[in-house]
Structure 1
Amino acid sequence: MWTRDFRLFFTARSVSTLGTGMVPVAMSLGVIQAGYGATGVGLTLASSVVPMALLVLFGGVFADRFTPRRMMVGADIARVLSQATTAVLFLTGTPVLWHLMVISAVNGTAAAMFQPGLASLIPRIATDVQAAVATQRTSESFMLLLGPSVAGILVGAADVGVVFLMDAAGFAVSAVCLALLRLTGAPPPAQEGSVWHNLKEGWHEFSSRTWMWGVIIVWSVMGIAVFGPILPLGATIISAAYDAQAYGFVMSAHGAGTILGGLVAMRIKPVRPLAAGATAMLLYALEPLSIALGLPLPLMLACHVAAGVAMAFWGVMWMTSVQTQVAPGVLNRVHAYEVAGSIMALPIGQALAGPVAAVVGPQELLGASSVISVTGCVVLLAVPAVRRLRRVAATS
């Protein structure tokens, strides 16, 4: 598996993901230090998420038309420039909020152009797709766990701008590594017809796979009712019951679980990957349930580790299925629909969490989230197309 091309890809993703883990902390601290408060933080972060959700479908079309590598390298170069600009703004004075929002929107747009191509690269550089996906996800989990700590140290010892300089350097390394890949077996570019025709073709490929749209429907419901509420409500409840440091420990426990889950996924290769992944995801309900019940901190940490393991294992099973079950010529577009369906529900859940919790109570809402989480997994296992989907054997 550790071929020259996979090492380059692994380096590209690991280095850039470290920056991804650092930036939210650095941006939040920088915006607050600039005097824009929590509202400014929310506006800046949302400025990145919205274009990502709106434009990722077009990223899939462009990846199939112009090749994934061109789109990914171009997106990395755009983020080198945008993050270097952000660094200059922080290092030379107090940045203007709308400047940061515009740069965040550029980053979100670049991410939308980058993300769809990921799905089609791994099958072209690795013979064992599941092992490659698991290795990549484990590294990304570790970098996302490490990133906030590195950002905090750099901001305290130097300046917010230094974090953005490091992030720009990471994207530069990623662009070089991706440009050096020796890719073979590329499908012909999807240049026939208009962009809208290509979008329609991608939708047909997506909607014709019951196992795929069935998962996305359930995942969207869970995004609104489970994954969305747990972020703001978990921070509020745990910080109030213990302190901010305890919340950091809890988030680190989840991160450690995702690393462990990735390692497990390297070793276990079930014949029916989505059935195995959905079964593992039953454990995720422990995360909102532990907060709702106000469990002692050690038990809460254990529940978050288990939830992290479940989430990572499911993620590897899902991505492996997508990358091996869909034809290469439409994979980028299909993956774009999958990404759009997965991420659009999350901000809705985050936005509704506060108002709904004010009516029913935060603990009660998270208790309902745990029930919905289990129900979602049961529904997935009840869908024959999901339950019976078989693993594609690794190529030699």
Structure 2
Amino acid sequence: MAVPETVLPEHVTAPAHRDGNVLRWLTAYTASLVGDGVYFVALGWSAQRTAGPTEVGLVMAAGAVPRAVLMLGGGVVADRFDPRRVILVSDAVRCLVLLTIAAAVALTAPALWLLVAVALVFGAVDALFVPAVGALPLRITSPDQLARVTGMRTLSMRLGQIAGPPVGGLAMGLGGPAAAFAVGGLFVAVSLPLLLTTRIRPLGPRGAPGPGTAREDLLGGLRYIRHHRLIGPLVVAGALCELGLTGTLNVGMVLLNAERGWGPTGYGWIVGSFGAGAAASAALLAVAGWLPRAGLVLAGTLLMGCTGAAAIALVPTLWLAAVLAAAIGLSAGVFGTLDNALIQTAADPAYLGRVTSVVMLTMVGLAPLSYPLVGAAIGAWGAAPVFIGCGVFAGVGPVITLVSGAVRNAELPRQRPGAAVP
């Protein structure tokens, strides 16, 4: 797809919340996320109407395979090409696939093979989309605005998670799977003209990609992460926390509520409180745009999150668990925003796609592997010891950040006095 090169002049710096360029990209990103949420609802209910529970699980999990397998390659693509262009192509493919399956479902009952094929295509597209999204912020704003942009992006993700499923459910109720897939495609389509008008900054000599094969680029990215004094510890710490906590906060929380007799309502309160805390932290960073002693704050909030996640299985009442979940969400949100902003600031722009792909691989490829292990462990020993054990494992992450002098002393750049504001 030929995309016109709209370049952002390097001298333009503006607060992200007043920068039309950033807001255009953020609106496009939000529309794409809402479309994704609608798509998942349509996919799940279409599978449920077509086959049994086992097949539904197969359809819903199918996209995870290409996403995990291709994620590192997606990082290479994001660094070799304009990330805005990669996002545009990804969204165009999503839109085309959604509208095509909407037409197919309108004409005939959705076949299981067709739903699996759609899930596989979306998983492969995600492997390109996610690293490109991670590489884009530094190309559309200045380094001193990265924390604010990260907070705004997190709020956008929360909005997509909140709005997508209800919109998909409403479309399913009114017009069935065909209408839901079509609505998802239209939301994704909204992002295309906004992305086309998003301006980008040239990389400059520091970020210019060198010649080499895709394999050399991939290995070079892994070496870059391993040898970087700041990014290496941050990536390892984040991976340990994802592996240690994702299973307990997803599968484990369902089993904990069943064990305590709090039921689905209790689960809803706990998950909602976690989401509210994460959204509040994102809003804080989006408004403030900067925090002092970012490295120490990152390490401290990571430690608080791991401690809270271990202790939540010990609290005796639902309301205490909900309050603790909100504190965990707040800590996780601050850590995630600062982690992303520090990586974006410290990384050579030519490696941002590959760095993002490694970070996301731990989240979407490796962390879900803990789900059956956590479920089996809770079935054998109960929730409390498993939550504590996983919290201790994840607690190695904040120890790594505290031991690393580069992380402890890391700071976010502040906005330069007298910066141009349109």
**TM-score over 0.5 for the pair:** yes
- Residue 13 (structure 2) aligns with: none
Query: Given the alignment, which residue of 78, 89, 99 partners 2:93?
Result: 78
- Residue 250 (structure 1) aligns with: 270
Letter in 2 for 1:99: L
Query: Are residues 1:218 and 2:233 paired?
Result: no
Is the CA contact (8 Å cut-off) linking 2:230 and 2:346 kept in structure 1? Answer: no
Letter in 2 for 1:94: A
Is the CA contact (8 Å cut-off) linking 2:95 and 2:186 kept in structure 1? Answer: yes
Taking the aligned partners of 1:278 and 1:19, their CA distance within structure 2 comes to: 34
Taking the aligned partners of 1:204 and 1:359, their CA distance within structure 2 comes to: 40
Taking the aligned partners of 2:208 and 2:180, their CA distance within structure 1 comes to: 37
For 1:301-380, what aligned pairs fall within 5 Å after superposition? Answer: 301-380=322-401
Instruction: Give % identity.
Output: 24
Taking the aligned partners of 1:119 and 1:257, their CA distance within structure 2 comes to: 23
Question: Shift in Å at residue 389 of structure 1?
Answer: 2.1
Q: Secondary structure at the match of 2:156?
A: helix
Query: Given the alignment, which residue of 279, 282, 297 partners 2:303?
Result: 282
Q: Which sits farther off after the overlay, 298-307 or 274-283?
A: 274-283
Taking the aligned partners of 1:29 and 1:249, their CA distance within structure 2 comes to: 24
Query: Are residues 1:236 and 2:279 paired?
Result: no
- Residue 120 (structure 1) aligns with: 135
Query: Are residues 1:95 and 2:144 paired?
Result: no
For 1:1-396, what aligned pairs fall within 5 Å after superposition? Answer: 1=16, 2-37=18-53, 39-127=54-142, 128-187=145-204, 190=209, 192-239=211-258, 241-266=261-286, 267=288, 269-285=290-306, 288-289=309-310, 291-293=312-314, 295-394=316-415, 396=419
RMSD: 2.4
Is the CA contact (8 Å cut-off) linking 1:226 and 1:373 kept in structure 2? Answer: yes
Deviations 1:214-261 (A, max 9, x none): 233233333333212331121233256223233223222222111101
Unaligned runs of 5+ in 1: none
Taking the aligned partners of 1:103 and 1:263, their CA distance within structure 2 comes to: 34
Taking the aligned partners of 2:273 and 2:385, their CA distance within structure 1 comes to: 23
Unaligned runs of 5+ in 2: 1-15
Letter in 1 for 2:354: R
Question: Shift in Å at residue 6 of structure 1?
Answer: 1.1
Q: Name the TM-score, length of structure 1 as normaliser.
A: 0.90
Taking the aligned partners of 2:105 and 2:257, their CA distance within structure 1 comes to: 32
Q: Name the TM-score, length of structure 2 as normaliser.
A: 0.85
Alpha-carbon spacing, 1:35–1:239, altered in 2? closer, same or farther (3 Å): farther
Deviations 1:275-325 (A, max 9, x none): 212211233246544652253222222122111111111111011111111
Question: Shift in Å at residue 365 of structure 1?
Answer: 0.9
Taking the aligned partners of 2:379 and 2:133, their CA distance within structure 1 comes to: 40
Taking the aligned partners of 1:208 and 1:342, their CA distance within structure 2 comes to: 22
Taking the aligned partners of 2:368 and 2:381, their CA distance within structure 1 comes to: 20
Alpha-carbon spacing, 1:133–1:225, altered in 2? closer, same or farther (3 Å): closer
How many residue pairs were aligned? 395
Is the CA contact (8 Å cut-off) linking 1:238 and 1:291 kept in structure 2? Answer: no
